[in-house]
Amino acid sequence: MSFNINYRIIPECYIDTNLVETITPPERFGSTRGYNHQRSCNKVIGVMKDKLNDDFSVGILDYDKRPLSHTYKFVLLTEKHCLKLYKHSEKNHYLIFHPPIEQWILDEAKRVGISLDDPAYDLPITLKELMDETKHEYSKNDQRFKRLFRALIKQDAIGINLLANWTRYLKEHPYNADKHELINL
């Protein structure tokens, strides 16, 4: 691919960026490596609308209690394993929504029998304490979370694997993604 696909994958927050970069590693382009991290849902939508308006992009976001501006033209393709995948009706823009990240991490780990306080991860097991860990900039590269995310993939955490599969597929098919293939992943 001759363009920087990483710029077109847009996670919402630090821990989302860590998650997506761990389960679907970015490509290396020159001296840069990493996805296009933004600090809020509205900033993700803004980048898609303003900087990538006529190009491919994927926003990865928490469900937001408030409707997001400029998303009315997105159509739900599928909803499964706590994830929702939307596609813009006229563009190669996609949105992947997951539950609030901290609770989702706890739920996915519990489903596959992983305890966050295991010495390999040394992470809090309560929602409040986990939220305290994920809200800091350092969580974007925190190796404890990277180890946890790799373990979740290895233990076949269904939602985490689905997020990885959708992201990987869209990176491989930015302009010719087949909605039926996406739905069946």
- The answer to whether residue 60 is domain-embedded is yes
Q: How much is the mean pLDDT over the chain?
A: 94
**pLDDT recorded at residue 150:** 98
Averaged pLDDT, 8-31 = 92
Domain range spanning residue 24?
A: 5-178
Q: What are phi and psi of 126, to 5 degrees?
A: -100, 150
Name the nearest CA neighbour of 106 among 60, 159, 61.
Answer: 159
Per-residue pLDDT band at 5 (split at 50, 70, 90): very high
**pLDDT recorded at residue 3:** 76
Q: What is the pTM for the complete model shown?
A: 0.94
Averaged pLDDT, 80-98 = 97
**pLDDT recorded at residue 1:** 42
Question: Is 70 exceeded by the pLDDT of residue 143?
Answer: yes
- The answer to whether residue 184 is domain-embedded is no
Distances (CA, A) of 135 to 11, 34, 128: 14, 19, 11
Phi-psi region of 74 (alpha: psi -120 to 50; beta: other; left: phi over 0): beta
Averaged pLDDT, 109-118 = 98
DSSP-derived letter for residue 25 is P
**pLDDT recorded at residue 67:** 75
Question: What share of the chain in percent tops pLDDT 90?
Answer: 88
Q: Across-strand partners of 86? A: 76, 95
**pLDDT recorded at residue 31:** 62
Place of tokens 């803004």: 46
- The answer to whether residue 80 is domain-embedded is yes
- Residues 40-54 pLDDT 10s: 999 999 999 999 999
- Residues 59-74 pLDDT 10s: 999 987 677 788 889 9
The sign of the CA dihedral 36, 33, 163, 108 is negative
- The answer to whether residue 154 is domain-embedded is yes
Question: Is 70 exceeded by the pLDDT of residue 2?
Answer: no
- The answer to whether residue 183 is domain-embedded is no
Domain count, the chain: 1
DSSP-derived letter for residue 51 is I
Are the C-beta atoms of 121 and 148 separated by less than 8 Å? yes
- Residues 158-175 pLDDT 10s: 999 999 999 999 999 999
- The answer to whether residue 185 is domain-embedded is no
How many beta carbons lie within 10 A of that of residue 162, not counting itself? 19
Task: Give the CA count within 13 Å in the CB-facing half-sphere of 60.
Answer: 28
Question: What share of the chain in percent tops pLDDT 70?
Answer: 97
**pLDDT recorded at residue 32:** 67
- The answer to whether residue 110 is domain-embedded is yes
- The answer to whether residue 42 is domain-embedded is yes
Per-residue pLDDT band at 11 (split at 50, 70, 90): very high
Which 3 state secondary structure label does DSSP give 71? coil
Structure tokens at 104: 């989702």
Structure tokens at 145: 């979370």
